[in-house]
Amino acid sequence: MPGLNLDRLRAFVYVIELGSFSAAAERLDVSQPAISLQIRELEKNVGVRLIERIGRRAAPTAAGEELLVHARRIHAGVEAALDAMARHANGTIGRIRIGIGATACIYFLPPILRTLRSRFPALDVVVSTGNTSDVLKMIEDNALDIGLVTLPVSGRFFEVQPLLEDEFVAIAAPDATGLPERITATDLLKRPLVLAGSGANTRHLIDQWATGAGVSLKPVMELDSVEAIKEIVGAGLGCGVVPKMAVTAAASRRRLVVRFLSPRLSRKLAIVMRRDKTLHRGLRELVGAMRSFAATRSAQPVRRKLRTERNG
């Protein structure tokens, strides 16, 4: 048996519910002969008589009564499906998969998600944390829709939008003594060091900064969590170097001594997506919220036009 035609089923339902072919034609804004043809084709399709005339009213046969139950369910299912797709199309529901470093996840992302949730309460947001290389691999594999990572980024698949610049600072316990107002790489050599793990982009930037001063840093402890670094340093077990955004909160300032580095060291955070990623409304709103929030941070936004970084 060929598949059922949805237009014929809809015409059938209206004829039964309204009691006449002419009323169904008027409701569907077609001619009465068109409705009659749809019903004949539907009866031919299913192989049974579906409608009979009782006086001046069109009524279902026994087979028509049974088909009507299914037709109403099918019609309701189609309407629900179309409504769901319409909400996806205008961005009111759907899913956004974000990849982000742990520090930015804690100190940058929450107010952005709060804004997004207030505007699109049905939007499903999935957040994954990881190093830049991990996030980029997941974006390339289309396992993530968007990432916020530390530059540099390379790859022919990626569109890169620089977002903000975040300075690095040295941190120590409140009772630390002899700390200069600005910390050099040589100053760090005089104290036990607690740094990010060697696989992190932030650690690579710190090592490059020290190498530029002719110093090789040898941490006594390497941790993957900025929060863990802060706890260890706050307990008086060493000195650390972390992104400034991780110590801007009043509670962090009370527990730690914060010093700027000399020469200055900063990292640039960027929004990264696949170049072929379709920007539905939810993604556009997320990017806009990120840019708006970045502009309000004490860290200066990177004022550059969108650009794409590619390999070779």
Tokens of 68: 């009507």
Instruction: Choose the final residue of a domain: 67, 89, 111.
Output: 89
Do 121 and 63 share a structural domain?
no
- Is the predicted pLDDT of residue 235 greater than 90, yes or no? yes
pLDDT band at 310; cut points 50, 70, 90 = very low
Output the pLDDT for position 307: 33
pLDDT above 70 coverage of the chain, percent: 91
Tokens of 205: 């930037």
Q: Give yes or no for a contact between 216 and 228, defined as CB atoms under 8 angstroms apart.
A: no
Do 131 and 195 share a structural domain?
no
Tens digits of residue pLDDT in 174-197: 988 889 999 999 999 999 999 999
Tens digits of residue pLDDT in 194-230: 999 988 888 999 999 999 999 999 999 999 899 999 9
Given its phi and psi angles, is residue 47 left (phi above 0), alpha (psi -120 to 50 degrees) or beta? left
Do 189 and 131 share a structural domain?
no
CA 95 to chain centre: 7
Q: How many domains does the chain have?
A: 3
Output the pLDDT for position 251: 55
Percent helix, strand and coil across the chain, each rounded to 5?
45, 25, 30
Work out whether strand 93-100 and strand 122-129 pair parallel, antiparallel, or are unpaired.
parallel
Output the pLDDT for position 156: 85
In-domain check, residue 311: no
Hunting for tokens 């015409």 — which residue is that? Answer: 11
- Is the predicted pLDDT of residue 45 greater than 80, yes or no? yes
Average pLDDT over residues 261-289: 92
Do 257 and 205 share a structural domain?
yes
- Let me know if 25 is exposed, middle or buried by CB neighbors in 10 A (0-12, 13-18, 19+): buried
Output the pLDDT for position 252: 60
Output the pLDDT for position 134: 92
d(CA 226, CA 294): 20
Q: Where are the beta strands (DSSP E) in the chain?
A: 51-54, 57-60, 93-100, 122-129, 146-150, 158-172, 182-183, 193-196, 221-223, 239-243, 257-261, 266-274
Output the pLDDT for position 280: 80
Average pLDDT over residues 121-127: 89
In-domain check, residue 190: yes
CATH number at residue 24: 1.10.10.10
Tens digits of residue pLDDT in 90-118: 666 678 999 999 999 999 999 999 998 89
Q: Which of 133, 132, 111, 207 has the alpha carbon at shortest distance from 168?
A: 207
- Is the predicted pLDDT of residue 309 greater than 50, yes or no? no
Instruction: Choose the final residue of a domain: 69, 89, 109.
Output: 89
Do 248 and 104 share a structural domain?
no
Output the pLDDT for position 15: 94
d(CA 179, CA 255): 16
Do 141 and 15 share a structural domain?
no
Output the pLDDT for position 122: 81
Do 153 and 36 share a structural domain?
no
In-domain check, residue 13: yes
Residues 6+ apart with CB under 8 A from 39: 8, 11, 12, 15, 21, 50, 51
- Is the predicted pLDDT of residue 36 greater than 70, yes or no? yes
Tokens of 284: 């556009």
CATH number at residue 103: 3.40.190.10
Lowest mean pLDDT among 52-61, 202-211, 241-250: 241-250
Average pLDDT over residues 54-61: 90
Do 179 and 145 share a structural domain?
no
Angle at 109 between CA 126 and CA 171, to 5 degrees: 130
Output the pLDDT for position 301: 42
Do 192 and 79 share a structural domain?
no
Instruction: Choose the final residue of a domain: 45, 62, 89.
Output: 89
In-domain check, residue 191: yes
Q: Give yes or no for a contact between 129 and 105, defined as CB atoms under 8 angstroms apart.
A: yes
pLDDT band at 2; cut points 50, 70, 90 = low
Average pLDDT over residues 125-141: 93
In-domain check, residue 219: yes
DSSP state of 295: H
In-domain check, residue 102: yes
Output the pLDDT for position 306: 32
- Is the predicted pLDDT of residue 19 greater than 90, yes or no? yes
Average pLDDT over residues 77-93: 75
In-domain check, residue 28: yes
- Let me know if 189 is exposed, middle or buried by CB neighbors in 10 A (0-12, 13-18, 19+): middle
End-to-end alpha-carbon separation of the chain, Å? Answer: 58
pLDDT band at 55; cut points 50, 70, 90 = confident
In-domain check, residue 1: no
Work out whether strand 221-223 and strand 182-183 pair parallel, antiparallel, or are unpaired.
unpaired
Hunting for tokens 């630390």 — which residue is that? Answer: 176
Do 191 and 110 share a structural domain?
no
pLDDT band at 250; cut points 50, 70, 90 = low
- Is the predicted pLDDT of residue 245 greater than 80, yes or no? yes
Do 143 and 279 share a structural domain?
yes
- Is the predicted pLDDT of residue 311 greater than 50, yes or no? no
Do 283 and 145 share a structural domain?
yes
Q: Which domain holds residue 57?
A: 6-89
Q: Give yes or no for a contact between 15 and 45, defined as CB atoms under 8 angstroms apart.
A: no
